[in-house]
A and B are shown apart, each in its own frame.
Chain A
Amino acid sequence: MNLFAILRAVGSNRLALFGTAAGTLLILVALLAPVLTPFAFESQNLPLRLRPPSAAHWFGTDELGRDILSRVVYGTRISMSVGFSVVLVSSLVGLLAGSLAGYYGGWFDEALMRIVDILLAFPGILLAIALVAFWGPGLEKLIFALVSVGWVGYARLVRGQILKVRELDFVRAARSLGASNARIILRHLIPNIIQPILVQASIGMAGAILAEASLSFLGLGVPPPLPSWGAMLNDGRSHLFDAPYLVLFPGAATMLAVLAFNFLGDGLREVLNPRLQSGSRIAR
């Protein structure tokens, strides 16, 4: 199925369409944050602490009188950049490790799969917490910690898919024409397994956003005053009853982002796998 056909199929799938629309919106918000925000995310206005939503501060103000709307909008930047970086690096690492293991087999495959088993047996978020606690706070360290946990899923998926396609006739045909191993992996195998990886990446994006929020909630994420949705939830925790808008908006933003990418992933899965499709829509 080529790109155009995928796009058309996405357009006819409600889940995927919602995911695409919401995801695009979030990315636009992240990119345009400086234009969209009425206030600087770190500028404090102590006389205006804990104000409910108003015409000047649509989402209200927090404990330090900072504009919540501006912080939620800038928080989108953090969420999206962490999400994209984690998914990109994890999937590249997983693609490399998984395809080498699946294609060549042997001791490398054995060793890699044992590492994957061990990492998967561990609760991922716990491992990420341990790593961040060990390395200290910081955006890059947070990303590294999530990648360290995240690549294994891709590696296992890729390995399985490679095992499935590497025995197909066209691989032998390519080899009979003098293709090298690298060429076979890059040009013949990976393009054939990219669809399930796209699905996994989309769902992984949701996971990474949630993981970043969790770590920031625990104070292990991005250092203040950078606004992270998770950190904002933590800040608002003590005002849950007197100023619920402190948690309402970052919470809703987190939910929207996670749902968007989960829906996109589920929708892509349906679109890319005709057997899961209901009704008469046929996608080749």
Chain B
Amino acid sequence: MRPILKVENLEVHFPHPGGVVRAVDGVSFVLRRGGTLGVVGESGSGKSLTALSILRLVQSPGKIAGGTIWYASGSEEGTAESDLLAISDRAIRQIRGAQIAMIFQEPMTALNPVLTIGEQIREGMTAHATLSRREAEARTIEIMEAVSIPAARQRMKEYPHQLSGGLRQRAMIAMALAPRPKLLIADEPTTALDATIQAQILDLLVRLKEELNLSLLIISHDLGVIAQIADEVAVMYAGKIVEFGPVAGVFGSPLHPYTEGLLKSVPRRSASNKSARRLESIQGTVPDPRQLPSGCAFHPRCKDDRGDICRRAPIPVATLEPDRQVRCVKHG
């Protein structure tokens, strides 16, 4: 079956005095239908911009400067593939919500303070179809129950400030899923939430994905979230994907020194080794995107720095095993 989403050589640029910042630089990946792809990286790595590009929501002065995003709509063989970056504004608006929906990090600010929860959930439905009042209300309650908002009939008349953080995030998920999209993009869906609520929201996403037959693209800086929910992972650094592969493989035996560093900087207690492992950190800081290091942008922080070869030219993608890709001279 054709993949639901195929991103090729995506470029997102920001102008700045003296040139452009390539915030997303040649990103390519494939999301299988029904699959869950996680994108990890530090802030500023371009992961959120990549997600926003899919729905063409990158805000000015940022600009999608190149690439293609193939989206295959429909579920059976009669799929129609279209380049989301090439279609008209009107056509992309038909895709937003109805085909591809998105949930955001801050459930406080991503809900409109002057509309009730019910009104906001209806927003997405009514943008694409005309529904009678009763139909819309029935579907609102149905979707609110699906995301486990208790007392839906009552809650839908409440305003966002009357809800807890966890309920607000559930309401936002309900809003995104109400138009019955095929692909859900979740940009840091649990970052703003308490740890216990985080787990609930992740469970909810997994359950909904199964029930509604969704494909899921999840953006997070939290490796734990990705490990728990995704089946494939893309690791981003300075606008590029540096490693791509199945979660078990990438997290079990990382190929790129950056992935390795990320994994080592996660606090963990293993059963075999009760004495605490020393927590490592990646030395240095994320480079200034206006002045990226030449060659591999990670080389100033890399513990495997091999000198000249890492600085000379951009590192090409190497494919190891059928499903593992990495940008590192170690695997050239």
A residues at B contact (CB < 8 Å): 2, 167-170, 172-180, 183, 187-188, 191-192, 284
Q: How far is the CA of A192 from the CA of B114 in the complex (A)?
A: 6
Q: Are B124 and A178 in contact (CB under 8 A)?
A: yes
Q: Are B114 and A179 in contact (CB under 8 A)?
A: no
User: Is residue B57 within 8 Å, beta carbon to beta carbon, of the partner chain?
Assistant: yes
Shortest Cβ gap from B97 to chain A (Å)? 4
Shortest Cβ gap from A191 to chain B (Å)? 5
Q: Scoring B residues 259 to 276 as 1 if CB is less than 8 Å from chain A, else 0, what string do you get?
A: 000000000000000000
Shortest Cβ gap from B180 to chain A (Å)? 12
Q: Which of B104-112, B131-139, B229-237, B288-296 contacts A (4 or more CB under 8 A)?
A: B104-112
> Across the interface, which residues of A come within 8 angstroms of B57, CB to CB?
172, 175-176
A168, A170, A172: most-surrounded residue (chain B CB, <10 A)? A170
User: What are 17 A-B interface contacts by the 8 Å CB criterion?
Assistant: A168-B109, A169-B104, A170-B112, A172-B57, A173-B102, A176-B96, A176-B101, A177-B96, A177-B124, A178-B94, A178-B95, A178-B96, A178-B124, A179-B127, A180-B93, A191-B115, A284-B161
Given A178-B127, A180-B93, verify A188-B112 contact (CB < 8 Å). Answer: yes
Q: In this complex, what residue of A is CB-closest to B55? A: A176
Contact of A191 among B109, B114, B124, B179 (CB under 8 A): B114
Q: Are B93 and A174 in contact (CB under 8 A)?
A: no
> Across the interface, which residues of B come within 8 angstroms of A188, CB to CB?
112, 115
> Across the interface, which residues of A come within 8 angstroms of B179, CB to CB?
177-178
Q: In this complex, what residue of A is CB-closest to B176? A: A177
User: Is residue B175 within 8 Å, beta carbon to beta carbon, of the partner chain?
Assistant: yes
The interface residues of chain A, by DSSP majority, are classed as: helix
Q: Are A192 and B123 in contact (CB under 8 A)?
A: no
Q: How far is the CA of A177 from the CA of B185 in the complex (A)?
A: 12
> Across the interface, which residues of B come within 8 angstroms of A191, CB to CB?
112, 114-115
Q: Are B123 and A170 in contact (CB under 8 A)?
A: no
Shortest Cβ gap from A94 to chain B (Å)? 20
Q: Are B96 and A169 in contact (CB under 8 A)?
A: no
User: Is residue B128 within 8 Å, beta carbon to beta carbon, of the partner chain?
Assistant: yes
Q: Are A177 and B112 in contact (CB under 8 A)?
A: no
Q: Are B115 and A177 in contact (CB under 8 A)?
A: no
11 more CB-based (< 8 A) A-B contacts, given A172-B110, A173-B102: A169-B106, A169-B110, A170-B112, A170-B113, A173-B172, A174-B123, A178-B96, A178-B98, A187-B123, A191-B115, A192-B114
Q: In this complex, what residue of A is CB-closest to B162? A: A284
A169, A174, A178: most-surrounded residue (chain B CB, <10 A)? A178
Q: Are A177 and B110 in contact (CB under 8 A)?
A: no
> Across the interface, which residues of A come within 8 angstroms of B94, CB to CB?
178
Q: Are B111 and A173 in contact (CB under 8 A)?
A: yes
User: Is residue B29 within 8 Å, beta carbon to beta carbon, of the partner chain?
Assistant: no
> Across the interface, which residues of B come within 8 angstroms of A176, CB to CB?
55, 57, 96-97, 101-102, 104, 176
Contact of B109 among A170, A174, A177 (CB under 8 A): A170
Shortest Cβ gap from B154 to chain A (Å)? 16
Q: Are B102 and A169 in contact (CB under 8 A)?
A: no
Residues 212 to 262 of chain B near chain A (Cβ within 8 Å): none
> Across the interface, which residues of A come within 8 angstroms of B14, CB to CB?
none
Q: In this complex, what residue of B is CB-closest to A175? A: B57
B127, B176, B179: most-surrounded residue (chain A CB, <10 A)? B127
Q: Are B96 and A170 in contact (CB under 8 A)?
A: no
> Across the interface, which residues of B come within 8 angstroms of A173, CB to CB?
102, 104, 110-111, 172, 175
> Across the interface, which residues of A come within 8 angstroms of B104, CB to CB?
169, 172-173, 176
> Across the interface, which residues of B come within 8 angstroms of A180, CB to CB?
93, 127
Q: How far is the CA of A174 from the CA of B122 in the complex (A)?
A: 11
Given A180-B93, A284-B161, verify A192-B113 contact (CB < 8 Å). Answer: yes
> Across the interface, which residues of B come within 8 angstroms of A168, CB to CB?
109
Q: Are B96 and A175 in contact (CB under 8 A)?
A: yes
Q: In this complex, what residue of B is CB-closest to A174? A: B123
Q: Scoring B residues 43 to 63 as 1 if CB is less than 8 Å from chain A, else 0, what string do you get?
A: 000000000000101010000
Q: How far is the CA of A177 from the CA of B128 in the complex (A)?
A: 9
> Across the interface, which residues of A come within 8 angstroms of B175, CB to CB?
173, 177
Q: How far is the CA of A172 from the CA of B104 in the complex (A)?
A: 9
Q: Which 3 A-B pairs have the closest CB atoms?
A: A177-B97, A177-B124, A178-B97
Q: How far is the CA of A42 from the CA of B101 in the complex (A)?
A: 67
Q: How far is the CA of A177 from the CA of B93 in the complex (A)?
A: 8
A172, A177, A187: most-surrounded residue (chain B CB, <10 A)? A177
Q: In this complex, what residue of A is CB-closest to B127? A: A178
A168, A174, A183: most-surrounded residue (chain B CB, <10 A)? A174
> Across the interface, which residues of A come within 8 angstroms of B55, CB to CB?
176
Q: How far is the CA of A170 from the CA of B124 in the complex (A)?
A: 13
Q: How far is the CA of A187 from the CA of B94 in the complex (A)?
A: 19
Q: Are A177 and B159 in contact (CB under 8 A)?
A: no
Q: How far is the CA of A20 from the CA of B153 in the complex (A)?
A: 36
Q: How far is the CA of A97 from the CA of B209 in the complex (A)?
A: 44
> Across the interface, which residues of A come within 8 angstroms of B124, CB to CB?
177-178
A2, A176, A284: most-surrounded residue (chain B CB, <10 A)? A176
Contact of B101 among A169, A177, A183 (CB under 8 A): A177
> Across the interface, which residues of A come within 8 angstroms of B114, CB to CB?
191-192
Residues 74 to 116 of chain B near chain A (Cβ within 8 Å): 93-98, 101-102, 104, 106, 109-115
Q: How far is the CA of A174 from the CA of B113 in the complex (A)?
A: 13
Contact of B112 among A175, A178, A192 (CB under 8 A): A192
> Across the interface, which residues of B come within 8 angstroms of A177, CB to CB?
96-97, 101, 123-124, 127, 175-176, 179
> Across the interface, which residues of A come within 8 angstroms of B106, CB to CB?
169
